[in-house]
Amino acid sequence: MNHFNFHDLEECLNKHIPANDLGEVKRLLFGRSDDHAIELHSETLQLAEKYNFDARGYAFTAEEEEFRKPRIVRIAAVQNSIVKPTTETVAVQRDALHEKISKIIQAAAASNVNILCLQEAWTMPFAFCTREKLPWINFAEDPEHGPTTTFLRKLAHRYKMVIISPILERDTDHGDQLWNTAVVISDSGNYMGKHRKNHIPRVGAFNEASYYFEGNTGHPVFETRYGRIAVNICYGRHHPQNWMMFGLNGAEIVFNPSATTAGISDPIWLIEARNAAVANNYFTVAINRVGTECFKNEFTTGNGKAARHEIGPFYGSSYVSAPDGTRTPCLSRDRDGLLIAEVDLNLCRQLKDYWTFRMTQRLAEYGAGLTRAAQVDYIPQIIKEKEKPTS
Amino acid sequence: MNHFNFHDLEECLNKHIPANDLGEVKRLLFGRSDDHAIELHSETLQLAEKYNFDARGYAFTAEEEEFRKPRIVRIAAVQNSIVKPTTETVAVQRDALHEKISKIIQAAAASNVNILCLQEAWTMPFAFCTREKLPWINFAEDPEHGPTTTFLRKLAHRYKMVIISPILERDTDHGDQLWNTAVVISDSGNYMGKHRKNHIPRVGAFNEASYYFEGNTGHPVFETRYGRIAVNICYGRHHPQNWMMFGLNGAEIVFNPSATTAGISDPIWLIEARNAAVANNYFTVAINRVGTECFKNEFTTGNGKAARHEIGPFYGSSYVSAPDGTRTPCLSRDRDGLLIAEVDLNLCRQLKDYWTFRMTQRLAEYGAGLTRAAQVDYIPQIIKEKEKPTS
C-alpha cells in the first residue's frame, strides 16, 4: 500500500473499526463520533454521477440562542483535476476547466450552497514547478474583468451564490506584476474584491516565488450576505499568525484553497486548518486539487533527483473544520469532489465565549514581541546556567 | 463505548486495521507509517512493572550533515494520577507524589533520559475547580528553595538529567502572589530558572484565574547541556502566538505540561502541540495527567449542572511531535506512564531550511498588525459590496 493508491482514510476506518469502537475513534481523531451526513438534492447526486465527481454533505450545529436566530449557511469546497493536456493552448485548457466547474457549481446550487470556493489557481495546471514563464503566465487574468471572473459572475448571479475564485492575476496598473489571487464574487454577481496570497513557498517543486511575490492586500474579510469570509491561500496555512489576522478582522469562515502533493505535506494536512479553526473560533475549509499533472519539458525539484515531467499526485482530501475542533470527513484523495457543509455561524461566537481566547490572547504584548523579534539585533530571551555545578 | 473506558487509540487501530493498510493510515494520521519504537533498558521495564506504570520509547531521526554531528537527546514525559486522597494533609499528599515520581525518574534514568518534564502542578491535585483557597494554596512553594525543587535537584544531579518541574509557586518577594510556574533544574542539579504560565483559562471547571494571573516571565528559552528548551504551560497551547514566541527565542523542544479533562479538550489534544511543532520547527511534548480527582466539598462548573465532588477523568494521552509533523503514539488514557523519545535536534534546523517558515513569516508586518489590532479603536479590514446588484 502506498499513497498513490490509497483512496480514502475515513472509508478505511469505517470498514475495519468495529461499530462499538468506531464512534470513540472518530471522536478522538475528528472531534465527533458521528459524521452528521446530510442528504443532498437528487439533482446534485445525478450531476455527480453523470460528470464523475463525488458529492458529500455534512452538518455542524450550534446551540439555540435567545437573541440571535440560527445563521445557517451552506458552504462548499470543490476539488478537481485539470481536463486537457498541458500541451493544449491556454484558452483550450482554461475553457475546459470552466466547463467542468460549471457542472459542479450547478450541482452545488441544486443543494442550496450559499458560498463556494474553488481550488488554488483553478483555471490552470499548477505549472510553477517548471519555472518556465511561457505559456503559463498567459493564464493570468484581470481579477475584475478577466474571462474567469466574467464567467463566474453569471453563475454567482444565477445561483445567488458567493463564489471564491483563486486565479493567477495580472496587475496591469502596477508594472504588469503577477499575483496569486483569490477573487470574491458576491451572491448578486458583483466583483467584491480580491486577496493576494500572503506567504509564498520556496519548497521542492513549489517554485512560485519565481512568478509572484508575497501579497500586499493585508488580511481582508469580505462581508457577504451570508457571513464574513476570508481566504488564506495555500502556503499561508503554515503560518498561524496569518490565520490569526483574519480572525482579528472578524472572519467567520476562512477558506484555504491549496495545491499540495503527497509526500510533501499530507501528514500535516489534517491538522493545520483544523488547528486554525480552534485557535481562531471560525470555520475553515481546506481545499486541495487532485490528479497528477504532466508537462512537456522536464524539470527538477531541488532534491537531487532526476528531472521529471510530472507533479503530483495532488491528494485532494478537502475538508471543513468547525470552531469546536470537529471536522467533516475528507473528500477522496484522487477524485473530483464537491464537499458541502451546512454550518450555523452562531457557533463562532459561542466558542469565543466558551474558550475566551480573544480575552486571554495578550495581543498588545505579542504585537510588541513580534516587532522586537523582527529587529536585526534582537536578543532572544535565553537563560543559561549561572551557578557552578554542585560537587 | 464512552471516553471513560476507552483505553488507547493507537492500540485500537493496531488491532483492527489490516496490516497492508495500517502503515498508510498511520502515515496520514500521525505522519509516519512506523512508530520507530526503541528498546528501553530492562531496569526501566522492571520498575514500570513493579510500580504499575507504562514505559514506552520511540525514536526520531534526522539526516546526516557534513558540519554538525547528530545531536541525539532522550527526552521524556511523565503522566500520573495523584496518590493520596485529597483529604490528607498537604505534606502527606505531596510526599506521596514525590515518592511515586522518584521511581519513574529512576526508570527514565535507567534508559538514559537527558531531559524530563513532569505534568502541570504535579505535586498536587488539580484543585482549582473548587475555588477554595485552603488547603490548596499550601501546595505553593518557593521555586528555587522549596521542598520540591530541593527534592528534584538531588535526582537531577544524580542522573545528570534536566528536569522540568511545574508547580504552584509562592512569590514571597512580590506581595506573596501565587503563580503557575515551571521550574527548570539543570543536569548538574542547579536551579536554572522558572517560567510562569502565560495564558490562564476561564473555562468550565478550570477556575485558575481565581488563584494566579497571566505570567510575567515572557518566553524564556533555557539553554541546557542537551539543547534549548522552553515550557508552554497548559492553556497556552491554545494560543499559536505563544508557541511562536518560544520559537523566535530559539527553542528546540517545547514542553506542554497540562491538566485537561475528557469532554472539554480531547478532540483537539492531538492537533495543537503537533501543529505547533510543524509551524515552529521544534519538538513538542504534550503531557496530561490521568485519573479522576475527588474533593470533600462539592463544587459547580459554570455549566448549569449539579454540583459534584469530582474532576476528571484527566485523559493522559501524552505524546511527542517532531518538526516534520510526525508524532509518537500516545501514552494511554488512564494509566501512569513514562514516554521516552530519542530525538536528533538537528532535525529542527533541517526543517527550517526545508520549509523556510522563518524567512517567509513577515514578522515585522505581523508585529505591526497585532499592535494595531490591540487598540481599542482598531478598525478591522472589512470589504463590503460596493456596486448595486446586477439586474
Residues paired with residue B308 on neighbouring β-strands, in sequence order = B299
Q: What is the pLDDT of residue A3?
A: 46
Distance CA A104, CA A52 (A): 10
Task: Return the number of CB contacts < 8 Å for A and B.
Answer: 309
Task: Using a CB–CB cutoff of 8 Å, tell me whether B272 touches chain A.
Answer: yes
Residue A264 pLDDT: 85
Interface of B with A in 178-207 (CB under 8 A): 184, 186, 188-193, 198-203
Q: What is the pLDDT of residue B264?
A: 85
pLDDT (0 to 100) of residue A142: 98
Give B 320-379 residues with CB within 8 A of chain A. 324-326, 354-357, 359-364, 366-374, 378
Q: Which of residues 146-185 of B touch A (CB under 8 A)?
A: 153, 157, 184
Q: What is the mean pLDDT of chain B?
A: 95
| Residue A388: predicted pLDDT | 62
Of the partner residues B17, B30, B366, the one whose CB lies closest to the CB of residue A241: B366
Whether residue B380 lies within 8 A of chain A, CB to CB, comes out as: yes
What residues of chain B lie within 8 A of the CB of A9, using their CB? Answer: 25, 28-29
Which tens digit of pLDDT belongs to each residue from B221-276?
999 999 999 999 999 999 999 999 999 999 999 999 999 998 889 889 999 999 99
A197 carries an active-site annotation:
yes
Q: Which residue has the cell 538529567?
A: B161
The pLDDT value recorded for residue B266 is: 84
- The residues, ordered by sequence, that sit 6+ positions from A373 with a Cβ below 8 Å of its Cβ are A380, B245, B248, B249, B363, B367
Express each pLDDT in A203-219 by its tens digit. Answer: 988 989 999 999 999 99
Q: CA torsion B342→B348→B350→B352, rounded to 10°?
A: 160
Q: How confident is the model at residue B389 (pLDDT cuts 50, 70, 90)?
A: low
Model confidence pLDDT, tens digit, residues B135-174: 999 999 999 999 999 999 999 999 999 999 999 999 999 9
Model confidence pLDDT, tens digit, residues B26-73: 998 999 999 999 999 999 999 999 999 999 999 999 999 999 999 999
Grade residue B348 by pLDDT with cuts at 50, 70 and 90: very high
- Return d(Cα A260, Cα A273) in angstroms, integer: 14
Amino acid identity, position A341: A
Task: Note the pLDDT of residue B117.
Answer: 99
- Whether residue A71 is predicted with pLDDT greater than 90 in this model: the reply is yes
Which residues are CB-contacts of A66 (< 8 A; sequence separation ≥ 6)?
Answer: none
Say whether A381 and B241 touch across the interface (CB within 8 A): no
In the structure grid, which three cell numbers stand for residue B258, read together? 497540562
Residue B371's pLDDT band (cuts 50, 70, 90): very high
Quick one: pLDDT at residue A5?
53
Q: What is the mean pLDDT of residues B206-233?
A: 97
d(CA B135, CA B51): 29
What is residue B387's predicted lDDT score, i.e. its pLDDT?
60
Domains and CATH numbers, chain B: 35-373 (3.60.110.10)
Give the pLDDT confidence score for residue A80 in this predicted structure.
98
pLDDT digits (tens, 9 = 90+) for A286-295: 999 999 999 9
Measure in Å the smallest separation between the Cα of B222 and chain A Cα atoms.
5
pLDDT of residue A263: 82
- Is B270 near chain A, with CB under 8 Å? yes
Q: Which of A323, A362, A316 is nearest to A339 (CA)?
A: A316
Q: Do A275 and A247 meet the contact criterion of CB atoms below 8 Å apart? A: no
What's the average model confidence in pLDDT over A79-98? 98
Is the distance from CB of A291 to CB of A315 less than 8 angstroms? no
Return the SS3 of A264.
coil
Task: Tell whether the model's pLDDT for residue A148 goes beyond 70.
Answer: yes
Tell me the mean pLDDT in the region A158-184. 98
pLDDT at B2 (0 to 100): 43
Averaged pLDDT, A175-197: 98
Q: For residue B267, what pLDDT is reported?
A: 83
- List of chain A residues whose C-beta atoms are within 8 Å of the C-beta of residue B243: 240
Q: What is the mean pLDDT of residues B202-213?
A: 93
Within A35-71, strands assigned E span 54-59
